[in-house]
Each structure stands twice: as structure tokens, then as C-alpha cells.
Amino acid sequence: MEPRYLAMYPFLPEASQYLKDNGINLGDIINSGAYAQARDAGRRRVMEALVDGQISEKVFTNDLEIMVELLSYVVARIIVSCVGQDQILLERYSLAEAQLVQARLENESLDFAIDTANILGLDIVRLNTTEISVHFSDYLKNSSQMRSQEWKLLNQVMDEGRVELGQKRLARLMQNAVKSNIMKELPLPVNDSIIEAFAPAIELVKVEIEKRKAQFEKESYGKVSFLRLPPCMKEILDMGKKGQNIPHVGRFGITAFLHTIGMTNEGILAVFSSSPDFKADLARYQIDHITGKSSGIEYLPPECATMKTQGVCYNPDSLCNKKWMNHPLTYYSSKGKKKPQKKKPEPKESENSA
């Protein structure tokens, strides 16, 4: 495979083989001055994912740029691993990588997209010049988070247990496949000398994570108000009440959300108790884990971008559509804010007054 493709799809097994064949080892990447550019690019890759929620597309004009792009992926994974088990970082980084792959795959030949999907373990067969079919089990595995009608299995064209798709929808499925692969793989084991070598980059990433957490944690949400809930959280609660299956990310999101706005664990348990499939012990175990009582980590609910890609951004309204809306907690605090009252104009002095 051409090195350009390896730089664009660095998760392919050929990419690590290519590095081996060129005599590039981890020690050199971490310590050698020759790879300083790649280390910078790796740090930028993580920071772009964390701050902007996306990794920018690059144009490669020569072999050096191709190699820097490929190694930036390796370095980014090391930096993320050095930070450790941080949910915000892992979610944002894996999503940004997956979205980059999706955008790139949309513009490749259909054969290339199929080969890449096969390497990731999806059973894909080409049907004609524009369409493929995927085995329904792979379809379900990679679309179960997407709850819009267009992704429901019932609404798909199927033939002998296979779902028929065009390239754009295949690329979207691949986004989920790549993201869950990255989430499974990271964090990688790293030793102290690696952590030391990347200390400045790790510090930069940690500061940014803390900034993001502080944005929500320091906020006082006042008295818990169900009237201010964003549409996604309202819908998740409604699904629970109706006994519908709530996706994992939805259960996690509503629990972390209610905890962050100040509800007690008993209060959250009471909210869930109206669900027909309520099991008190299991619910209590999950609530205590997510709220940090048993795990020591207080999780924040996912951002809007993650809620969207996981298919649990339900019924977004006009407030959701504001450019600055990026988090269900932002929705909640904005909804609670009183609009500034327009100052009444000072009464003009009457021309007739004395």
C-alpha cells in the first residue's frame, strides 16, 4: 500500500509493518531529535481533538510530511495513554480520529472502503458500482447507538441477512467501528520513561481537561429543576418510564447529568424506579459508580457532539441549535438564566413641567 494511505489510515496493520521495515522504533520516536516534528504533530493531534473536537485534514506533498502524519498518530496514542483512564479525553480523541477516517473514506474508491472495512472485521461484499452489503450482525453492532429512523434495521433494504448500503453510509458505520476500536485499545501500557519524555505534552493535555471539567463542576446549578432539562435528557427519562430500552450512553448520560446538577443518589434512584424494568440493586450499583461514590471518579455527562454521534441527541430544539450550544449542562444553565430586563427609558422631563 502507498505510504500516503498508511498516513491517512494509520490503524491499518500495514502501517506498523511499514514503520518496522523502515527501521523506526519507539525509542527513536520518543527520544531522537530527528522525530521532533512528529512529536509536535502528535501533541497537536491530541490537542485539536480535545479543544476543537476534530483533527484537521492535512495535505501531504512529500515523503517527510507523509511520515510526520503517520507518526503523529503513534505519538498521539502515546500521549493519550500517558494521561491514563480519562473518559473526556478518550471520548473526544477517539471520536475525532473516527470522524477523520469517516470523512476520508467518503472520498476513496468503493473498493478501498470495502477493504478497509474488511480489515476492521466487518463482513462487507460489493454489490455493484455504488453499493455494498454488510452482514446484519455487523450492521447492528456498529449502528446500535444511532437511534434515528434511517438507521433502524427495520427500515433497511435487506437480502438474505445482509443490509444494502451506499458508500456514505458505509463510511458512517466505519466511524463507529473505528471509535470503538480505539476506545478498546486505549490507554496502552506506558512506562515511566515514556511518561517523563512526554511530560510537557501530558501537562498541556491535563490542564485542558481540567479546564473543561471546571467549566461544569464549578458552576452552581441551583435547585434541581426538571423544567430546565434539555430535550435529550427529557426523552431518556420518558423512555425509562415507558419501559423502552435506553442505550448505555443514555443511562450513563442521564445519571451523570442528574448528579452534576445536584441530585442525590437516592433522588436519581427514585427517578429510575418508575421504569418497568427497574432493578434496585443494579441501578444503585451503576449510580454509585458513575457518581464517584464507589469508583472515586465523578463522571460528567457526554457533550452534545458525543450525544449526537451516539444517537441520543433527541428532539433538539431552538436552544440546542444555537452555535454555542455544546453540552447538555450548558443547555440546563442557559435555560435557568433570566433574560436581562431591558432598562425602562427614563421618563423624559415633560416640556410642560416646571
Q: Does 268 bind ligand SF4 (CB under 6 A)?
A: no
C-alpha pair distances (Å), 93 with each of 169, 175, 190, 195, 225:
22, 13, 18, 19, 32
Q: Does 328 bind ligand SF4 (CB under 6 A)?
A: yes
> In whole angstroms, how close is the CB of 253 to ligand SF4 at the nearest point?
8
Number of residues that bind ligand SF4 (CB under 6 A): 12
> In whole angstroms, how close is the CB of 307 to ligand SF4 at the nearest point?
4
> In whole angstroms, how close is the CB of 256 to ligand SF4 at the nearest point?
13
Stretch that binds ligand SF4, among 19-27, 224-232, 255-263, 345-353 (CB under 6 A): 224-232
Q: Which of residues 69-108 bind ligand SF4 (CB under 6 A)?
A: none
Alpha carbon 188 to its chain's center: 19
> In whole angstroms, how close is the CB of 303 to ligand SF4 at the nearest point?
8
Q: Taking CB under 6 A as the rule, which mask of x and - marks residues 26-45 in contact with ligand SF4?
A: --------------------
Report which of 68, 79, 89 is spatially closest to residue 197, judged by C-alpha positions.
79
Can you state the angle between helices 280-290 and 248-260, rounded to 10 degrees? 60
In the structure grid, which three cell numbers stand for residue 148, read together? Answer: 434515528
**Is the CB of 133 or the CB of 306 nearer to ligand SF4?**
306
CA distance linking residue 258 with residue 291, whole number of Å: 9
> In whole angstroms, how close is the CB of 236 to ligand SF4 at the nearest point?
9
Strands 124-126 and 131-135: antiparallel
Q: Does 252 bind ligand SF4 (CB under 6 A)?
A: no
Alpha carbon 121 to its chain's center: 21
CB neighbours (10 Å) of residue 80? Answer: 28
Q: Is the dihedral of CA 168, 87, 182, 29 positive or negative?
A: positive
CA distance linking residue 68 with residue 7, whole number of Å: 8
> In whole angstroms, how close is the CB of 311 to ligand SF4 at the nearest point?
11
What is residue 245's three-state secondary structure?
Answer: coil
Stretch that binds ligand SF4, among 126-134, 207-215, 225-233, 281-289 (CB under 6 A): 225-233
What is residue 156's three-state secondary structure?
Answer: coil
**Is the CB of 187 or the CB of 231 nearer to ligand SF4?**
231
**Is the CB of 163 or the CB of 307 nearer to ligand SF4?**
307
> In whole angstroms, how close is the CB of 193 to ligand SF4 at the nearest point?
41
Q: Which of residues 307-326 bind ligand SF4 (CB under 6 A)?
A: 307, 313-314, 316, 320, 325
Stretch that binds ligand SF4, among 43-51, 134-142, 214-222, 228-236 (CB under 6 A): 228-236
Instruction: Pick the binder of ligand SF4 from 77, 304, 310, 311 (CB under 6 A).
Output: 304
CA distance linking residue 30 with residue 198, whole number of Å: 8
Report which of 107, 156, 117, 159 is spatially closest to residue 138, judged by C-alpha positions.
117
Q: Does 232 bind ligand SF4 (CB under 6 A)?
A: yes
CB neighbours (10 Å) of residue 267? Answer: 13
**Is the CB of 156 or the CB of 334 nearer to ligand SF4?**
334
Contact 207, 241 (CB under 8 A): no
- Which residues lie near ligand SF4 (CB under 6 A)? 230-232, 304, 307, 313-314, 316, 320, 325, 328, 331
